Structure 1
Amino acid sequence: MDTSAVNDAAARLLLAYEKGETTAPVVETFPEATIADAYRIQQEQVRSWVEQGDVIKGHKVGLASKAMQQQLGVDQPDYGHLLAGMFHLEHQPISAGSLLQPRIEPEIAFVLGRPLSGPGVTVADAIRAVDFVVPALEIVASRITDWKISIVDTIADNASSGGVVLGSKPTALSDVDLRLAGCTLQLGGELVATGAGAAVLGSPINALVWLANTVGPLGIDLEPGHVILPGSMTRAFPVKAGDTVFAEMGELGTVTAVFSE
């Protein structure tokens, strides 16, 4: 795709945010679009948000588990940006109407204490860079009509980012085995899913390594204080106004998201 086409695709997605209306898949309008093009489209939107005063506060790895890849029909992870405006306080109402086709998924969020810059990042480097972890609920949302997304579509749409709620109990990596960390997810008081950290590329730390080594060659560094979402431990579940979502992750603690009109 040339620069004009990239800007056009980004403008269509930005308009979907602005109007609160979904748009056709990117690959329908731009069938020649590649994964590299999709990240250029994503970056153009991020540039626009930052110019308007928002701030990059981290990154997310999407589609890191087999459950999510199968649910959305893709075969590899992707990444997106987390902006300050995407963060919501636990227990405080989140406007469901401000999100397009929202779904929710439980994750173990990393908070970095040191910079992490790829390529060449190892598991040891990643562990050293993490300050602590907290339980999290990621809200994924799609500007693409009916979630008819390919890997190109979701990447272009900032990895289908919608929002994030962080729990308030920090845990040091030395105090938990992320592979064995279990999770139960309740929606409206009903148990809807269980999962474990091993569902995320074998361990959430592997997703952090993948992210650092993927974005590093693009000139993107993971900064101290950044929040990194490594991927969901279960499939994603639709949410609507009136829903309360509760995730319990054993020794990591709990996190709750509440949705309103």
Structure 2
Amino acid sequence: MSTTWDVERAAGVLLGCEDARSDRPPLTDEWPELDLATAYRIQDETLRRRRDRGERLIGVKLGLTSRAKQKRMGVDSPLTAWLTDAMALPAGEPVPQHKLIHPRVEPEIVFVMKDRLAGPGVTAAQALAAVGTVCGGAEVIDSRYRDFRFTLPDVVADNASSGAYVTGPVGLDPRTLDLALEAVLVEVDGQIVDSATGAAVQGHPAEALALAANDLGRRGLAIEPGWVVLTGGMTDAVFAPPGAEIACHFTHLGSVFLNGGTEADG
């Protein structure tokens, strides 16, 4: 049994890779015993260290919310991870290439909470009732693992491939929309490359929100008022190299534009 890896070392290694913009093999290559519960402890330890260096917790994100991605990973439910203010990208700012290793972009339906949401036992209807506004967004995912190769515990430990995110200019009451039918077109350098609807996210984004609340509830945590919740990628992620022009066009939630920027940005 491995005695060289523990929560503290893994957190330090992953944050070190992030800070140095260097990738590495998955932790499970050297720590095959790593399980999901320990991976979440690593994720929480990296959050503690982020907060110690001045970052502020502002929300949660979900990963593996699409059935196709779950099947690919051999799981039957999404994973949760943390958002800090250092991950928020102001509208119009380029992809922060100087901070990221191999960024990719995926469209998301984003909730901003008005009420506290504490599980377990939260339903999709209760989750939606706790939302203040919904908007379109784009997450810039990154991974500290080479070639995005990882197991489920690896990606949980790595804070669900967190990088950055941006939200669009339109914020609406979610009860005025059918979010399962809210569509998005993903455009790269002027060409439409993918499309989806909110149904790709657990059947409805509110189901993903409820799952997040229930998952956190089992760990004695809750989704707090004012938090941002990224409900998960609606399509597969597209690469975001320097110079790329990426847009996510939503039916009612406006458009989110991202410029790939340059290595010197920042």
TM-score, length of structure 1 as denominator length: 0.95
Amino acid at match of 1:142: S
2:205 counterpart residue number: 204
Cα distance in 1 for partners of 2:53, 2:3 equals: 25
Cα distance in 2 for partners of 1:21, 1:49 equals: 18
1:93 is paired with a residue whose SS is coil
Amino acid at match of 1:165: V
The worse-fitting range, judged by mean Cα deviation, of 131-140 and 248-257 is: 248-257
Cα distance in 1 for partners of 2:95, 2:143 equals: 17
Amino acid at match of 1:53: G
2:192 counterpart residue number: 191
2:60 counterpart residue number: 59
* Displacement of 1:73: 3.2
Alignment check: 8 A CA contact 1:108 1:135 kept? yes
Cα distance in 2 for partners of 1:67, 1:88 equals: 28
Cα distance in 2 for partners of 1:156, 1:9 equals: 8
> Identity across aligned pairs (percent)?
36
1:231 is paired with a residue whose SS is strand
Alignment check: 8 A CA contact 2:136 2:167 kept? yes
Cα distance in 1 for partners of 2:233, 2:150 equals: 18
Cα distance in 1 for partners of 2:4, 2:171 equals: 43
Alignment check: 8 A CA contact 2:189 2:246 kept? yes
1:137 counterpart residue number: 138
2:254 counterpart residue number: 253
TM-score, length of structure 2 as denominator length: 0.94
5 Å matches for 1:62-73? 62-69=63-70, 73=73
5 Å matches for 1:83-232? 83-232=84-233
1:40 is paired with a residue whose SS is helix
For residues 140-173 of structure 1, the C-alpha deviation after alignment (integer angstroms, 9 at most, x for no partner) is 1000111111111110000111110100110111
Q: Per the alignment, do residues 243 and 74 of structure 1 end up closer, same or farther by CA in structure 2, a change over 3 Å counting?
A: farther
Q: Which runs of 4+ in 1 moved over 6 A?
A: 1-4
1:6 counterpart residue number: 7
Alignment check: 8 A CA contact 1:68 1:232 kept? no
2:256 is paired with a residue whose SS is strand
Alignment check: 8 A CA contact 1:119 1:213 kept? yes
Cα distance in 1 for partners of 2:140, 2:69 equals: 14
Cα distance in 2 for partners of 1:236, 1:154 equals: 15
Alignment check: 8 A CA contact 2:58 2:227 kept? yes
* Displacement of 1:252: 1.6
Amino acid at match of 2:126: D
1:239 counterpart residue number: 240
Alignment check: 8 A CA contact 1:204 1:230 kept? yes
Alignment check: 8 A CA contact 1:104 1:137 kept? yes
For residues 88-141 of structure 1, the C-alpha deviation after alignment (integer angstroms, 9 at most, x for no partner) is 012222222321221110011000001101112122221110001000001110
Amino acid at match of 2:101: L
Alignment check: 8 A CA contact 2:195 2:235 kept? yes
Alignment check: 8 A CA contact 1:197 1:233 kept? yes
Amino acid at match of 1:73: M
Amino acid at match of 2:98: G
* Displacement of 1:36: 0.6
* Displacement of 1:68: 3.1
1:246 is paired with a residue whose SS is strand
1:88 is paired with a residue whose SS is coil
Alignment check: 8 A CA contact 2:104 2:142 kept? yes
For residues 13-47 of structure 1, the C-alpha deviation after alignment (integer angstroms, 9 at most, x for no partner) is 01101211012201112110001111011111000
